[in-house]
């Protein structure tokens, strides 16, 4: 099929390293970008995606941030769905006794209460820096500003993450999407949005999901991989994603997306 849109997750998928696209990926995107749209789809904040758009020379395309909670086309907001203040407070009250730190994200704002190895990794990988401020102060500030979070990142240990996850599901599972990024990280987004719902917002000129080829590796990619005209899992993807993908390519560290593009697009 002659696909019109390519949608790709970033971390663990399009990015060959933790922070950059490879020269092969840049070359393959350059080869196809004039005949199909290239849309980056990520849990990242906007400014953690813009430099990758620049590297790929696709800054004119929209971006899907925060797992679909914030969608931008240039400076225009296509969609913005926030986690409400009360839910933020409830998450904090469950996390704080377990020593789990919160990363709070709103548009291009990122707040954490203190520095840590995890925060430093995030700074390195995303090339963005947070504001260090007590979480209670951030929650009070956001309540006054009448804003919520586009994403919450819970940073704990394996044991604390294992302990809090079922509590979060029970207390907030009907209003929030909860994702285990890995053994120590939990990402939280509004329930009403997903990467798939954001992609649907960007379909124009009688295009449908059948015109989309999508690439991913993790739980939050399952919907778009299942429904896209062609869903491709990288070799390092979760088994649940591989099970529903139309194709499986090489690992991200082996330029899986770029090599699939070279062979099939």
Domains, the chain, ordered by start: 5-80+193-264 (3.40.50.1000), 85-190 (3.30.1240.10)
Provide the token pair at 29.
């995107």
Asked whether the beta carbons of 126 and 10 are under 8 A apart, the reply is no
pLDDT tens across 115-144, in order?
999 999 999 999 999 999 999 999 999 999
Average pLDDT, integer, range 17-28: 95
Kindly state the percentage of the chain with pLDDT values over 90.
96
pTM for this entry? 0.95
Asked whether the beta carbons of 213 and 7 are under 8 A apart, the reply is yes
For the chain, the average pLDDT equals 96
Distance of CA 73 to the CA centre of its chain: 16
What is the pLDDT at residue 3?
96
Average pLDDT, integer, range 69-86: 96
What is the pLDDT at residue 2?
87
What is the pLDDT at residue 181?
85
What is the pLDDT at residue 123?
95
Q: Are strands 176-180 and 151-155 parallel, antiparallel or unpaired?
A: unpaired
Average pLDDT, integer, range 168-175: 96
Asked whether the beta carbons of 228 and 212 are under 8 A apart, the reply is yes
Write out the H or E segment, with its range, that includes residue 33: none
Q: Which residue has the tokens 């060959």?
A: 16
**Residue 247, Cβ density class (10 Å: 0-12 exposed, 13-18 middle, ≥19 buried):** middle
pLDDT tens across 225-249, in order?
999 999 999 999 999 999 999 999 9
Q: Is the pLDDT higher at 204 or at 81?
A: 81
CA distance 195 to 157: 27
Asked whether the beta carbons of 262 and 6 are under 8 A apart, the reply is no
Provide the token pair at 246.
């139309």
pLDDT tens across 183-195, in order?
999 999 999 999 9
pLDDT beyond 80 at 263: yes
pLDDT beyond 70 at 1: no
Average pLDDT, integer, range 30-52: 97
What is the pLDDT at residue 18?
86
Scored b (16 or more CB within 10 A) or e, 153-172 reads bbbbeeebbeebeeebeebb
Average pLDDT, integer, range 63-72: 97
Asked whether the beta carbons of 2 and 210 are under 8 A apart, the reply is no
Average pLDDT, integer, range 45-74: 97
Among 124, 22, 109, CA closest to 65: 109
pLDDT band at 36 (very low <50, low <70, confident <90, very high): very high
């Amino acid at each position: 099929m002659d696909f019109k849109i390519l949608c790709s997750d970033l971390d663990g998928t399009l990015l060959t390293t933790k922070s950059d696209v490879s020269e092969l990926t840049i070359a393959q995107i350059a080869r196809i970008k004039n005949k199909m749209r290239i849309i980056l789809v990520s849990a990242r904040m906007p400014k953690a995606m813009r430099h990758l758009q620049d590297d790929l020379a696709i800054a004119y395309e929209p971006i899907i941030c925060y797992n679909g909670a914030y969608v931008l086309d240039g400076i225009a907001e296509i969609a913005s769905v926030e986690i409400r203040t009360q839910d933020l407070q409830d998450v904090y009250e469950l996390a704080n006794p377990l020593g789990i730190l919160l990363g709070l994200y709103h548009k291009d704002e990122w707040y954490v209460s203190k520095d840590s190895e995890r925060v430093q990794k995030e700074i390195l990988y995303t090339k963005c820096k947070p504001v260090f401020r007590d979480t209670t102060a951030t929650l009070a500030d956001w309540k006054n500003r009448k804003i919520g979070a586009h994403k919450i990142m819970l940073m704990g240990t394996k044991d604390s993450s294992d302990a809090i996850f079922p509590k979060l599901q029970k207390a907030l599972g009907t209003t929030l999407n909860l994702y285990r990024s890995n053994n120590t990280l939990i990402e939280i987004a509004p329930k009403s949005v997903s990467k798939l719902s954001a992609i649907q917002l960007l379909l124009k000129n009688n295009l449908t999901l059948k015109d989309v080829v999508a690439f991913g590796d993790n739980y939050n990619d399952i919907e778009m991989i299942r429904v896209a005209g062609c869903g491709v899992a990288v070799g390092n993807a979760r088994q649940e994603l591989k099970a529903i993908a139309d194709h499986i390519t090489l690992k991200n560290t082996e330029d899986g997306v770029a090599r699939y593009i070279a062979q099939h697009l």
